[in-house]
Amino acid sequence: MYQALFPWVRRRADRFIAVSRYTADDLVRRAGIAASKIDVVYHGLDPAFRRPVMNESAASVTPYFLAVGGVSARKNTRRLIEAFTRWRARGAHRSRTKLRITGTSLDRAFAQAGAALPDGVSLLGYVAKAELPDCMPMQLGFCIPGSMRGSGFRS
């Protein structure tokens, strides 16, 4: 569909919006769009996620990464889980670190494999948007599996 429609869009558009500098560079490199026609507009932040950090002591909370979207082939979550497991295995100081995944989608192949989740990985299921900010304050990082490039985790 992109191959059929994009040449038409490229001819007709006055401006393009890219969500990152990387995407803008891709438009220049792969689609031949003039850099002067591209504006980078980064994703905004919903005000709900600007809550103050909880008063919990960092020492009493197990460190974790948070990924939103369930286990989905489209999100490449299986690769995220594999990368997390390898990253965690490389250092004893990382052994307490967890990976928490929210969302209800469950990749059929993942479910049929019947493999247990690796140690440190948990599926939280559906988390309402209003409750999601409560998951954020004590996390180490936010993982966006659908856009992972390279090997994933770094310390």
pLDDT tens digits for range 5-50: 888 988 899 999 998 888 899 999 988 999 999 999 987 766 666 6
Higher pLDDT, 138 or 75: 75
Q: What is the Cβ-side half-sphere exposure of residue 118, based on CA atoms within 13 angstroms?
A: 19
Mean pLDDT of the chain: 76
Distance of CA 103 to the CA centre of its chain: 12
Is residue 142 within 8 A of residue 66, CB to CB? The reply is yes
pTM (2 d.p.): 0.56
Between 7-11, 26-30, 73-77, 143-147, the lowest mean confidence (pLDDT) is in 143-147
Distance from C-alpha of 146 to C-alpha of 55, rounded to nearest angstrom: 32
The pLDDT tens digits for 58-69 are 455 678 888 887
CATH of domain 47-147: 3.40.50.2000
- In the chain, CATH 3.40.50.2000 covers 47-147
Whether the per-residue pLDDT at 147 is higher than 50: the answer is: no
Does an H or E element contain 65, and which? Answer: strand 64-68
What whole-number percentage of the chain has pLDDT above 90?
13
First-to-final CA distance of the chain: 39
